[in-house]
Amino acid sequence: MKLIRNTLLILHVLVGVGAISGGLAAITNPEAPLGAPVEILKYSPFSNFLIPGILLFTVIGLGNLFGAVMFLTKTKYQGYISSVFSWALVIWIVVQCIMLQSVVLLHVLFFVIGLVQAFLSLILMFEQRLFPTNIVLNILKK
């Protein structure tokens, strides 16, 4: 289980730092963050990258760093916290691909990272017998 916790810690830091960097770029330059033209938002409800940048910075960036801190402090709720922010990443990528109407390698990479985080979080929840995994384990015992 130490390998799972360490892997999740590393993934949360990686995603958190990347999202904070991308979010900060979008907040400070909402018309062309990291060279991305505002025209790619034509199918989205946004006219620039400010709101997506704020969401990326706070939810994905700070959320994943919060998840990493929870692994460092070894809180009982690591599995829940990790699961929430891993699914937030998966949903973020899916919505982003829909709004941009494109899929690039980074989308695929972070989608897979989110799924790996979710799977490892589920293993952690089973190990800790947290709800709802405790119910599943009780049903399987019968």
pLDDT beyond 90 at 74: no
Higher pLDDT residue, 58 or 76?
58
DSSP assigned state of 1? -
User: Comparing C-alpha atoms, which of 22, 12, 18, 114 is closest to residue 65?
Assistant: 12
Mean pLDDT of 62-80: 93
| Tens-place pLDDT, residues 94-106 | 999 999 999 999 9
- Residue 119's alpha-carbon distances to 41, 81, 84, 100, 112, in angstroms, are 31, 13, 12, 27, 10
Residue 46's nearest CA partner among 33, 58, 35, 59 is 33
In degrees, to the nearest 5, what angle opens at C-alpha 4 toward C-alphas 67 and 134? 80
pLDDT classification of 128: cutoffs 50, 70, 90? confident
Q: Which residue has the higher pLDDT, 108 or 135?
A: 108
User: Which 3 state secondary structure label does DSSP give 29?
Assistant: coil
Task: Quick: pLDDT tens for 29-59.
Answer: 999 999 999 999 999 999 999 999 999 999 9
26 vs 132: CA distance, rounded Å: 38
Q: 25: Cβ–Cβ under 8 A, 6 or more apart, which residues?
A: 33, 34, 53
